[in-house]
Structure 1
């Protein structure tokens, strides 16, 4: 590896800077200062059990990718632990200082990753401070955890895997029980950490999923602090995604449906909207009464609008919610009257995710099968649903979706004469083969 440095001078005003070839200087990085993987100057040299030293970032990426052999010796790595090579790092730093005049910047001393033991110690202190209701101490320790998490993704993972979520959950419930208003600032700080610590064990889930904790998050959702609202809905999304049984407990809190609807209606951020859609989906699933309440608020129209311009992630979530809405007679009625519904459903087929396609097919079947006049079926044919459904059968899908697709195609065949541009001959032959 060579650094190419050139002397330079400015000519008269207005003219370009010229590089002087005569002052060209080549500076070679010593071979033992280079990482064997990237061949770049090592910033944080660490040594494997095989005795070979690598830059920490490069060797960790190598191991995280599933490679369990030393890149140089090809020996199996029975021990994945790395040891900081302080001596080599100091030599590299001294070399950088020595060549400072050549434009080489000194490599800063790296911040070493936090250990599982250190995380456990901090969590124990949080538990102790929570037990003694020491608000300031808990604040200090929460801040410390968050500072460490910001240093690297590795630290975040270590904190989440070694009790961070449990300690934060216990503290959140404890101080929310005492007084949400009095400890609002502390609770907000804890909540911002909980948003990235999932999953965190049964005890942690039971604490954050308690009625007290859920009420506290709903309280933040109703407030004006956008950050607290965002973190609350993200935590609720992760909680319900892990354990749907908490949906029933959440719905017992007065006004929660209206609160979630408001967040979707007046978005805070795309991430918050997506999280809200996941929470709403879990609340709607299997609960017709809840579906009716959201439909009456106007959720159907909002979801269809989200589908029009939403990205893949948003579209999948919106389709899931619309599928639940269409389990309701009122929901189906509103969806079928919206001119955008069928075009957007057909557009999303095979273009988002497999799950999104399954939701879209399910919605189409719920709407078409109950449409006695056949208007919705004709509309589906007009916007190109028939060939897309055929393709879906050919590429394959889950059994329930396959059954819905086959039923839709047969239903569409009954109305083929009302759509001049439809060539159904190939489709009919395919249907016969699939029976």
Structure 2
């Protein structure tokens, strides 16, 4: 029986089966959502493995010469390829918005797969395989690609992550933000949005209510994207809507949208204690009649409180709009009211009058006008467009050098609010604002310094601005704010430093400016509320050679081990990443960590940590084991 099992395992990992697995990956459809780059990179690398196993298959080889470890490598590779097919399919189907909200988790999955494939390839002794020199060279190059990819995780699209965050925080998201999301998520037409609404509906139903919070955000954002598409191209939108009305004149109502009692489309769905949803008026009549059970399941109701099912209500409203079904009256009225409010708030004449005061008024008038523009720019996306188009940005940049502290505060905060619009970012930078914003960061009032830091973070979303901001001397001033600021100011400074440090040159600037000391103080002050930020920055700086040295000199091992023992999942992950950077190639640091009990907390992390934390913990434990067997220890 044992021999049969071995034979079956060998057959499962034979070159022929591996070729089939690679072909299965190669045959998957092109990814058209936010995971496109990560998806494409993994598929491309896997396809490059094909010549090796095709040659082994055609030559009749299969691992007889590779030994036990080589056979395990083949088996691990087959398992990793099977997992890759599952992951690749899962990120390329269903709701595109859901995939966008899950992009961080998807990045971890792709990196984990890359690590599994690289580990499997490391176990295969190519020099003992009966393959041509050309194929051997190619597979070694492919293995090197997997090794490099395993050393650094593909970062999700930062602009997409920022746009999603902005779109959710704003009551009326900027049109430029929505347009970028439509492009990146391939939700550019009403038909695209209709398919997305159905995908969200299927996701919500299949999740059994586990995605309520996420689905509420998706439905809300989908509605905003639809409004954006209609505003961008009203003629096409009207044409598609008309076609929809003709095609769906008598649409079939999805079962999930019908009340189980009346079998009619629900207008005000509510949830009872058993988790079932009913039309409010129907379930109230049922309860008023003296019933104490759920009509559908016959379970006894624990209580008679009714919870509005906002997610389903929004899905029904979207379905009605897409299929030409009249919306429930309350929703239609509120929608009309919202649209009217937005349209009336952008008063070009009032903005022009404020700009006249900015340009030609006395100091008091300039201060007042800057303050009003600050509030208008904060209020909604239309105002940000109107204010910029009217030519306010260069005038506000001029006021950054005002000797009046309040005027300076208004000017930098107005630019912060305007920078939410992506096209305004370019206008602000082109107006020469970066040096002046940095000067405010260095010399302004505390409020002005905090808002200057937030403005620099907003501008640094565009990669080339990271270079300009770092070169303008922002990083030492941000570090000073990190030490001296209010709690909000410290967080603004930390966020800006983190984002700027994505650029390698700014890592060196931050290290040279002495950032490690303040970060270590924040890390050790558990009650200061800055542990998350300090660890995130340390994790990114530890990847720089100078950063590794500077952090090592600050003796961080005890606090890192303690964070891994007791911290939040994200902090444990970042602490493990820093510890891994410090201990790789440094036996003394590794021994010190082991003496402080790192081995025990790392073993626990392999069971309960995030995927990235588990990987770092496994690697660290392997380093500790190797160090124990080394002669010098």
Instruction: Give the TM-score taking structure 1 as reference length.
Output: 0.59
Describe the shift of the 1:173–1:148 C-alpha distance in structure 2 as closer, same or farther (beyond 3 A): closer
Runs (5+) with no aligned partner, structure 1: 1-61, 85-111, 150-155, 419-435
Once the two structures are superposed, residues 48-75 of structure 1 have per-residue CA deviations (whole angstroms, 9 ceiling, x without a partner) of: xxxxxxxxxxxxxx898885599xxx95
Cross-structure match for 1:290: 506
User: Which secondary structure does the structure 2 equivalent of 1:162 belong to?
Assistant: helix
Q: Deviations over 1:187-229 (max 9, x none)?
A: 421323455x376322222223446221221111121422211
- 1:347 pairs with 562, 577, 582, which one? 562
Over residues 145-197 of structure 1, what are the superposed CA-to-partner deviations in whole Å (9 max), with x where a residue is unaligned? 66789xxxxxx6xx2332237627952433424883378754421323455x3
Corresponding residue for residue 412 of structure 1:
624
1:270 alignment counterpart: 487
Please point out which of 355, 368, 373 is paired with 1:130: 355
Matched with 1:54 is: none
Distance change >3 Å, CA 173–CA 187, structure 1 → 2 = farther
1:364 CA drift (Å)? 0.9
Q: How does 1:164-183 map to 2 (within 5 A)?
A: 164=384, 167=387, 171-177=392-398, 180-181=401-402
Residue 79 of structure 1 corresponds to 332
Checking the alignment, whether the CA contact within 8 Å between 2:420 and 2:458 is kept in structure 1 is no
Matched, 1:302 2:518: yes
SS of 1:181's partner is: coil
Residue 378 of structure 1 aligns to a residue whose secondary structure is: helix
Correspondence 1:160 to 2:380: yes
Give the conservation status (yes or no) of the 8 Å contact 1:165–1:199.
no
Gaps of at least 5 residues in structure 2 are 1-307, 318-326
| Alpha carbons 1:251, 1:257 under 8 Å: kept | yes
**Cα drift, residue 411 of structure 1:** 1.1
Instruction: Tell me what 2:440 maps to.
Output: 220
Equivalent residue of 1:115, what SS?
helix
Paired with 1:409 and 1:292, the residues of 2 have a C-alpha distance of 30
Q: Which structure carries more relative contact order (alpha carbon 8 Å, separation 6+)?
A: 2
1:330 aligns with 2:546: yes
Q: How does 1:11-50 map to 2 (within 5 A)?
A: none
2:345 paired residue among 115, 119, 134: 119
Is 1:188 the counterpart of 2:409 in the alignment?
A: yes
Whole-angstrom distance in 2 between the partners of 1:144 and 1:66:
40
Provide closer, same or farther for how the CA distance between residues 187 and 165 of structure 1 changes in structure 2, counting only shifts above 3 A: farther
**Cα distance in 2, alignment partners of residues 126 and 382 from structure 1:** 66
- CA–CA distance in 2 between the matches of 1:225 and 1:233? 12
Distance in 1 between the 2:418 and 2:354 partners?
22
Q: How many angstroms does 1:269 deviate by?
A: 1.0
**For residue 456 of structure 2, what is the aligned residue in structure 1?**
236
SS of 1:245's partner is: helix
Q: Does the aligned pair in 1 maintain the 2:400–2:436 contact within 8 Å?
A: no
Shift of 1:415: 4.6
**What is the DSSP-based 3-state SS (H/G/I as helix, E as strand, rest coil) of the residue aligned with 2:485?**
coil
- Which residue pairs with 2:78 in the alignment? none
Structure 1 297/378 Cα, relative in aligned 2: closer, same or farther at 3 Å? same
Contact 1:307/1:318 (CA < 8 Å) preserved in 2?
Answer: yes
- 1:388 maps to which residue? 601
Decide which structure has greater strand share: 1
The number of aligned residues is: 311
Deviation track 1:6-55 (CA, whole Å, cap 9, x = no partner) reads xxxxxxxxxxxxxxxxxxxxxxxxxxxxxxxxxxxxxxxxxxxxxxxxxx
**Distance of 2:529 and 2:462 partners within structure 1:** 21
Aligned to 1:56: none
What is the correspondence of 1:346-365 to structure 2 with a 5 Å cutoff?
346-349=561-564, 351-365=566-580
User: Residues of 1 paired with 2:382 and 2:534: CA distance?
Assistant: 35
- Asked whether 1:256 is paired with 2:474, we answer yes
User: In 1, Cα distance between the equivalents of 2:480 and 2:455?
Assistant: 17
CA drift at 1:350: 6.9
Q: Distance in 2 between matches of 1:66 and 1:141?
A: 45
SS in 1 for 2:346: helix
- Normalised by the size of structure 2, how large is the TM-score? 0.42
Tell me, yes or no, if the aligned pair for 1:326 and 1:332 is still in contact at 8 Å: yes
Q: Deviations over 1:77-103 (max 9, x none)?
A: 44151899xxxxxxxxxxxxxxxxxxx
Root mean square deviation of aligned Cα: 4.1
Deviation of 1:273 after TM superposition, in Å, equals 1.5
1:358 and 1:285 mapped to 2: Cα distance?
18
1:230-270 Cα distance to aligned partner (Å, 9 max, x none): 11112222333x434321121232x32332232224x1212
Q: CA separation in 2, counterparts of 1:238 and 1:353?
A: 27
- CA distance 1:239–1:200, shift in 2 (3 Å): same
- Alpha-carbon distance, 1:309 to partner: 1.0
